[in-house]
Amino acid sequence: MTYETTVIAMLKILHERLRQGHRTASYPSEAPVLPERFRGAPRIVPERCREGCGDCLDACPFGAIEGTAGGPRLDLGRCIFCGACAAACPHGVLEFSRDHRLAARRREDLLAGAEGHRLAYALDGEMRRLFGRSLKLRQVSAGGCNACEADLNVLNTLVFDLARFGIQFVASPRHADGLMVTGPVTENMRFALLESYAALPAPKLVIASGACAIAGGPFRGSPECHDGIGDLLPVDLYIPGCPPHPYTALDGLLRLLGRL
């Protein structure tokens, strides 16, 4: 390449760069605006519930809804946010909002009722001191369909710019502070997943990202899957969704680190 062509190529890049402009979102100072039809945190109004009606329970393909005295409770861990329950309810008891904030620290915190559910709280003490400003994660897909993986990769794009929060995906578990698992854990990936966890230096975190990793997702009950990582690893953060929206994942991570 001659000097001139190099300069022209560079000018073209700069021109396109100027034209397309700066696109990193102002999150978290500004709340993200998600599409009108996005299904996020459920809103449950039990007063509208009619006794003896189990339409929402029957509509859920994955048994994520439990009928209680205080109205339906939705397990955000099992939920794939298909919206079948909301569509089936003739009384408007249950609907999905555009609120992307879903992540929780404990499995039981994912049960959403009239009062919503308990959002993730921050790590405490030494763990927060160690990871609060710098968190390196190793991602392991254990039967994930590549939607969870793709929407985690998105966090590295300039829109989200994950690195500005001090969070990074790293190439080896030995370099990582935590394991971010996607997929229902296929039997064929169980060993590799446990080996990856063992390779992480302590203290270490485990994050279950997506309906599959939390409770098996669409493959709950498959004889070749483990219904998520719950029985295999100690989980520090659950990120619901099928797949979780990138903002849902980012929100969960920042809450874990006490940054939101």
Binding site for another protein (CB under 8 A): 1, 5, 9, 12-13, 16-17, 19-20, 23, 34-39, 61-62, 80-83, 139-154, 156-159, 169, 171-173, 183-184, 186-189, 191-192, 196, 217-219, 222-225, 242-243, 245
80 vs 94, which CB is nearer to another protein?
Answer: 80
CB 100 within 8 A of CB 34: yes
Neighbours of 172 (CB within 10 A): 11
Q: How far is the CB of 131 from another protein (least distance, A)?
A: 19
Listed in sequence order, the residues at least 6 apart from 3 whose beta carbon sits closer than 8 Å to its beta carbon are none
Q: How far is the CB of 128 from another protein (least distance, A)?
A: 25
Identify which of 203, 200, 213, 202 has the alpha carbon closest to the alpha carbon of residue 242: 213
Q: Give dist(CA 165, CA 168) in Å, integer.
A: 9
18 vs 69, which CB is nearer to another protein?
Answer: 18
What is each CA distance from 42 to 105, 111, 127, 172, 182, in whole angstroms?
A: 18, 11, 31, 37, 23
Helix (H, G, I), strand (E, B) or coil at 147: helix
Q: How far is the CB of 203 from another protein (least distance, A)?
A: 21
Q: How far is the CB of 70 from another protein (least distance, A)?
A: 26
108 vs 187, which CB is nearer to another protein?
Answer: 187
117 vs 248, which CB is nearer to another protein?
Answer: 248
7 vs 70, which CB is nearer to another protein?
Answer: 7
| DSSP single-letter state for residue 155 | G
Q: How far is the CB of 197 from another protein (least distance, A)?
A: 11
CB 243 within 8 A of CB 148: yes
